Structure formats: C-alpha cells, structure tokens
Amino acid sequence: TYHLTVEDLEREILVVHARRDEYFGVDIKCKHKGCDINYQPTEKLFRCPCHGSEYDLAGANLKGPSVKPLNYYHAELRGNEVVVTVYGPNDTPPANATPPKDTTHREVADSSAASQQDSTGANKKSTGW
Ligand code: FES
C-alpha cells in the first residue's frame, strides 16, 4: 500500500496493489470520524480501526457506522510508475473516477476501457515506487 498526500488538492489517498495489474486509490480518512483506514489484503477491503467501518476497493460502504463512501481515484501502472488521477474537493470528478463495477469479487479482467485520461490536467505522477 502507498500513502499519497496531495497538499494543494487537500487529498490524502491510500493506493493499493490489490490484484495483478489492478490498483485502487481511495481517501485514507474514514468518513465516519476521520481515522485512517487500513487495507486488509486477504479480504481485499478497507477497514477503519476506530469503529469498524468497512469499504470495498472502490470506497463503497460495506459496513457501518460510516454511511458515506470514500472517494475513488483511478490508479494504473504505466511502465515503472503507478499513475493516480487526483482531483480536489471542488473539482468535477474526472471520467475515470467512476469505480469499476463489482470491486469485491471480480476476477482479473481486461481493464482497457478504464484507462482513458481525463482532460482536467489533474493527473499526478507518483515517484520513487
Ligand atoms: Fe472510522 Fe468511526 S472513524 S468507523
């Protein structure tokens, strides 16, 4: 897992390499009371240590008390870098911020349809991974 902080966009993002060729980025702060969520690799979900909220790989709620989803951020491997498309709280979410369907039990699938880039210029490249 990787913790990505984007100060100018007020985002703290957790990026996980969940399956072969599949990366997922979500807000690191739980939507209940703001604790940092943890990734559970065997269950392939995110769990909050404070009160037990759970979210799927795309940030959708699986278990309360949180009732709000985490924002999802598109992440993909390009060459040796994982590129995460980041957007701020006041930006229109880019087209690829739509989570893939069924992120809990999906088999590895062709993700070519999800690799389009947005035109907002908000792409951030990670370095040093
Ligand atoms: Fe995460 Fe309460 S802060 S469940």
Per-residue pLDDT of the chain (129 residues; tens, 9 = 90+): 788 788 777 889 999 999 888 999 999 999 999 999 999 999 999 999 999 999 999 999 999 999 999 999 999 998 888 999 998 888 888 899 988 776 664 444 444 444 334 444 445 555 444
Q: Decide the pairing of beta strands 72-78 and 22-27.
A: antiparallel
pLDDT for 2 equals 81
pLDDT for 124 equals 53
First to last CA, the chain: 11
Is the omega angle on the peptide bond into residue 65 within 30 degrees of 0, that is, cis? yes
Q: Ligand 1, from 33, 61, 70: best to mutate by most atoms within 8 Å of Cβ?
A: 33
Residue that is written with structure tokens 């498309």 in the block: 85
pLDDT for 9 equals 79
Which atom of ligand 1 is found nearest the CA of 33? 3
Residue 68: CB atoms within 10 A of its CB come to: 13
Question: Does the beta carbon of 28 sit less than 6 angstroms from any atom of ligand 1?
Answer: no
Alpha carbon of 96 to ligand 1 centroid (Å): 27
Q: Decide the pairing of beta strands 61-63 and 72-78.
A: unpaired
